[in-house]
Amino acid sequence: MTVGKKVLMGMTSAELKETVKALGMPAFTGGQIARWLYQQHVMSIDEMTNISKQNRERLKALYTVGTMAPIDCQRSVDGTVKYLFPVCCDSDTTDTKGRFVETVFIPDEDRATLCVSSQVGCKMNCLFCQTGKQGWEGNLTAADILNQIYSLPERDRLTNVVFMGQGEPMDNLDAVLRVTQILTADDGYQWSPKRITVSSVGVRSKLKRFLDESQCHVAISMHSPLHEQRLGLMPAERAMPIAETVDLLRQYDFTHQRRCSFEYICFAGLNDTLAHGREIVKLVQGLECRVNLIRFHAIPGVDLPGADEQRMERLRDFLTQHGVFTTIRASRGQDIFAACGLLSTAHKNPIGPMGPISPISPI
Mind telling me the catalytic residues? 102, 340
d(CA 238, CA 126): 12
What's the per-residue H, E or C state across 152-212? CCCHHHCCEEEECCCCCHHHHHHHHHHHHHHHHCCCCCCCCHHHEEEEECCCHHHHHHHHH
Query: What are the CA-CA distances from residue 48 to residues 19, 51, 158, 272, 293 (Å)?
Result: 16, 6, 24, 55, 46
d(CA 207, CA 262): 14
Q: Which residues contact 58 (CB under 8 A, 6 or more apart)?
A: 23, 24, 25
- C-beta separation of 122 from 167 below 8 A: yes
- C-beta separation of 264 from 219 below 8 A: no
Rounded to the nearest 10 degrees, how much is the dihedral formed by the CA atoms of 267, 268, 273, 276? Answer: -20
SS3 304: coil
The alpha carbon dihedral of 121, 340, 261, 316 has a sign of negative
d(CA 317, CA 157): 34
- C-beta separation of 253 from 200 below 8 A: no
Q: Is 78 exposed, middle or buried (0-12, 13-18, 19+ CB in 10 A)?
A: middle
Residue of 36, 6, 43, 38 whose CA lies nearest to 23: 6
Question: Percentage helix, strand, coil, to 5, in the chain?
Answer: 35, 20, 45
| Torsion angles phi and psi, residue 253, rounded to 5 | -95, 115
Q: Which residues contact 23 (CB under 8 A, 6 or more apart)?
A: 55, 58, 59, 62
